[in-house]
Amino acid sequence: MRWPPNKAWTSSKPIDGYRHFEVSSYGGKGDERWVELIAVMNDQIKFKLPWTDLKIFAKWTSGWLQLPKEES
């Protein structure tokens, strides 16, 4: 996966009720790289995670996936 990270991400499970996130900042080098994400619909939901977490397809998908109505 390329660095710097893509701007848009979809979580496989809701995080504080949200699944669509944007990268607000990123940094680090090598194994110490990190990404800060912010919920698209609520800018109060913000968190930092290791870059390696975004590479786990079971947790994250690059881009915004269309969600079923019951999840949107």
pLDDT digits (tens, 9 = 90+) for 33-67: 999 999 999 999 999 999 999 999 999 999 999 88
Instruction: Give, in order, the Cα–Cα distances in Å from 42 to each of 17, 20, 46, 56, 62.
Output: 10, 10, 9, 24, 19
Q: Identify the pLDDT of residue 67.
A: 80
Q: Identify the pLDDT of residue 68.
A: 79
- pTM for the predicted model, two decimal places: 0.89
* Digit-coded pLDDT (tens) for 4-17: 999 999 999 999 99
Q: Identify the pLDDT of residue 71.
A: 65
